[in-house]
Each structure stands twice: as C-alpha cells, then as structure tokens.
Amino acid sequence: MNRDDLLLGKQVPVVNHYAPELLFPIPRREAREALALPEPLPFEGADIWHAYELSWLDSDDKAQVRVGRFSIPASTPNLVESKSFKLYLNSLNNLVFDDDTAALACIVRDVSAAVGAEVGLAVFDPDDPAIAPGQPSGECIDSAFGRWPRREPDAAMLQCDPASLVEEQLYSHLLRSLCPVTGQPDWATLWLHYRGPALDHAALLSYILAYREHQEFHEQCVERIFRDIQQRCRPEFLHLQAFYTRRGGLDINPFRSSGGGQPPWLRLARQ
C-alpha cells in the first residue's frame, strides 16, 4: 500500500460490513533508518493498544462488547495506522461469530497479517477491575524547572552526571507531539525506569517539552526518545513507555526496553 491510500485526515463513511482491507500498515524501516538505528535493534518491546469500542454479534444476534488489549511486538516490520484500526474494528460490529474464541481468532489473524507477525490480544468486560485506571510508579518531574525550548528535540538537551549513579523511575504528563499527517496534537504521559548516570530532571523535562511541535507517529517518538537517552547517558538499562490519551476509541502505549523489562500493563486515568 502507498500513502495515497492512507485514511487518516480523510472523511470516510461508516463501514457496516467486515473489511479487513481497511487495516493500513506503515513500515517501521523508514523512521528507524532516519534515526540510524542499527540491526539488530538496540531495544525490544511492544506497542500496547487499548480498544474501547470492540463489539460483534453472537449467534443469537446479541451484541457483545469488550475492551481489547492488543500487544504488537516492536520487531514487527509494520505498525498499523490508528484510524484504519478504528474503522476495521467498527467493521466487525454487525458480524456474527459463534463464540468469543472465533471472534478473537479472526481479529488476531487480520491484525497480524497487517503488521507482519503474530500479535497478542486479551479482552476484558467493560467493568473488569483489571482495566481500572492506575498511576505510573516513580517521581513526577513536572514541577522541575524545565521550559519549552521552542525547537526540535535533540539528544544534546539531555544532561546526566557520570559521577552519580542512580536507579530511578520518573514520569511526566507533559509529552505532546503532533500527528505527522493531520498536525493534530497527541498527548501522553512518558514513564521511564533506568539505572545509570543521574538524569538532570529539569533538562529531561525541557527535552520532553521539545516534542510539543514535533511531528511523528507515537511509536516513532518513543523510539527517538529511547535512542537519545541511550546515546547521551549510556544507562545500564532503560525501560520507557508513553501512555497516549484516547482518540477514536483507541489509546496507544509504545514500550521499549534495553532488555528484560515488562511494560507496566496499566491504563492511566486520562486514558
């Protein structure tokens, strides 16, 4: 598929029939080459999506509704564009499945085909406490003396102290980037856990604020942040996740780790 087929930013009528062809894959390769990321990749991880408008019909034509948690490995050749994902999921609304197992198998098959590898899918009832809002662990740096630098993010903005080795978890609610297609703002909470030279919190906050006018997809922003912290501070380990707010019934939570890390598996209050 080419970018002319991209549905994002276009007025699209509601699709009332099953339409897996709506899923739009975007190759990860181009953005990673622009970041000069080596092969094998210097991180592992997954893109974790919560789908709040997941519904189909059972064999009695009774509507079923779930909240879905998708896990798309960072190693897949493609990411999936969010509007196409929303439209695909809505195309299932009037499709009849014999049972939940059949519905989930269909969805996993279609999304896996789009991204180029097997994806994970767990589903929850809408009132399941497992998807109740949580809070990131660690220290919020939003009160640090960081300022919007009014320029593009650059690893040189980050400062660390090689004489002070620490292990800490930090987060900020102030990550804002722009969709590279529509220019609309995407808000997120950025969380990181690392061990290594102590990051200067004010400099880190200014670096995060530099994304305020930066145009990139969610997954690409997270990989850029991961690369910059790795290159600038050389931590022993780094786990990083952005919790983007919901748009179109979907939130995206890219997680990248230098190895051995697990995503927090939580949903924040503003999601």
- Per the annotation, the verdict on 179 as an active-site residue is yes
157-191 in b/e form (b: 16+ CB < 10 A) is bbbbeeeeeeeeebbbbbbbbbbebeeeebbbbbb
- Per the annotation, the verdict on 186 as an active-site residue is yes
Bridge pairing between strands 120-124 and 133-134 = unpaired
Task: Give the active site residue among 47, 110, 186, 200.
Answer: 186
Orientation of helix 100-115 relative to helix 82-90, angle to 10° = 150
Phi, psi dihedral angles at 199 (to 5 degrees): -75, 135
Q: Which residue has the tokens 């009037």?
A: 94
C-alpha dist (Å) from residue 204 to 2, 143, 157, 162, 193? 36, 12, 8, 16, 13
Task: Give the active site residue among 160, 179, 221, 233.
Answer: 179
Distance between CA atoms of residues 191 and 138, nearest Å:
8
Give Cα 15 to chain centroid, integer Å.
Answer: 25
Pairs from 112-116 (Cβ < 8 Å, separation ≥ 24): 113/20, 113/23, 114/23, 114/24, 114/25, 114/78, 114/80, 115/25, 115/72, 115/76, 115/77, 115/78, 115/79, 115/80, 116/25, 116/76, 116/77, 116/78
Which residues does the annotation mark as catalytic? 179, 186
